[in-house]
Structure 1
């Protein structure tokens, strides 16, 4: 495939297909968690490694589909650099402040689903954080938001936020609000700059820090 002529836009049908491939299983699992009353989430080395493996397999399937549809998959590779790390740290801090403020205004500070990371080592925590942060932002922002940009920024951002929300319903009301705020900050930054690495790094931090400290990640 000639990357110079590859597409970076998607039809609604193609966007739905990518969302179904990448996030369909997560949406089903989240809806099931809501149906049974938001059970506590327990993480272990085994669950982290398994989750990373599943996301890698889904990513491969989605990339194959995008290549068949002549989408520019090479542009989806985050390109780490120092400035992106710094910007990513700032983005992470902004999302933390924004989420805390919104939850306080809504009175949802204590409405948090229980999370346990005591059975997970630092190695598996870092692994799943890197894989999950990269997976979600590449396909939510790099594919869905960018791919639908010709439909207007509000639709492109709104649909990717909807998918992001549906995959995280298991985190309960406070988690859902936090995910929306988190996703909105990263989406606006990405739409304005087109830079993927800073949002990926911010998401990695949003998973690593809470998981290491025993809270809930993104």
Structure 2
């Protein structure tokens, strides 16, 4: 990977400005999540309850009234994509079609779907094993991936949440940051490693297994992007992983004991 050069558009922005911009984009979304995750794992580790006996709840209800709960869910999903719009807007100052440049488009649906499905399998199958091992070692919480009740809209909302996660993380953590950090003079290896570490950090709220698993995922996806220059397969892979996790948990939690 150290032999690869990631082509990026020339910029008149100084490295200092590029770094400031990247930090602000991160703090507007995923970077803020990383800070909260660090505080969350500290709180969980100092708790008297062992880590593997604690539960991390995701995709929870926001209101007792179904219509209001649905409104909360849809607004949260929509606002989660603002950081993506901001990142693309900032890149648009130097290129006409930033989404096209990042490979976040529908030009290659077949190859993108195929590579995305392959990546999901490569990441997801060992990921289940890592989760179980980390829990057995007391290094991870139990993940309750979905708790939206039995409303008709619960499963569609879980799918939308999974797609939002995928778009937000891959467009920002891979497409945008790889571009900006390369323009700032970072080596490709440094870009891939730092991006993966940030990805792992904002998953620390799940436990140390979640951190390790997402760092490995970030390294793999970063290496794939460096070779393909397309974010879309990464979005597909991430969406598939989260859909399986969210929807699978909602459907099987009463039938499968280890969930």
TM above 0.5, yes or no, is yes
- The answer as to whether partners of 2:112 and 2:233 remain within 8 angstroms in 1 is yes
C-alpha separation in 2, matches of 1:63 and 1:91: 25
- The answer as to whether partners of 2:56 and 2:143 remain within 8 angstroms in 1 is yes
1:88 to 101, 104, 116: 116
- The answer as to whether partners of 2:59 and 2:148 remain within 8 angstroms in 1 is yes
C-alpha separation in 2, matches of 1:95 and 1:26: 22
Q: Deviations over 1:129-180 (max 9, x none)?
A: 1111011100111011233234211111112112212211111011111111
For normalisation by structure 2, the TM-score amounts to 0.69
Alignment of 1:42-61 (within 5 A): 42-44=58-60, 46=69, 48-61=73-86
Does 2:104 correspond to 1:78? yes
Q: If you compute each CA radius of gyration, which structure gives the higher value, 1 or 2?
A: 2
- The answer as to whether partners of 2:116 and 2:234 remain within 8 angstroms in 1 is yes
C-alpha separation in 2, matches of 1:77 and 1:192: 12
User: What is the aligned length?
Assistant: 208
RMSD: 2.9
1:30 to 27, 30, 37: 37
C-alpha separation in 1, matches of 2:189 and 2:103: 25
Structure 1: tracts of 5 or more residues without a match? none
Aligned CA distance change for structure 1 residues 193 and 42 (closer, same or farther; 3 Å): closer
Q: Deviations over 1:25-53 (max 9, x none)?
A: 31233123213217521423646434312
Q: Which residue of 2 aligns with 1:144?
A: 177
Structure 2: tracts of 5 or more residues without a match? 1-8, 45-53, 62-68, 251-259
SS of the equivalent of 1:148 reads helix
Q: Which residue of 1 aligns with 2:209?
A: 174
C-alpha separation in 2, matches of 1:8 and 1:51: 35
C-alpha separation in 1, matches of 2:10 and 2:188: 22
- The answer as to whether partners of 2:31 and 2:198 remain within 8 angstroms in 1 is no
Which has a greater percent of helix?
1
Does 2:147 correspond to 1:118? yes
For normalisation by structure 1, the TM-score amounts to 0.81
SS of the equivalent of 1:204 reads helix
- The answer as to whether partners of 1:22 and 1:62 remain within 8 angstroms in 2 is no
- The answer as to whether partners of 1:8 and 1:146 remain within 8 angstroms in 2 is no
C-alpha separation in 2, matches of 1:8 and 1:107: 48
C-alpha separation in 1, matches of 2:12 and 2:105: 17
C-alpha separation in 1, matches of 2:199 and 2:39: 16
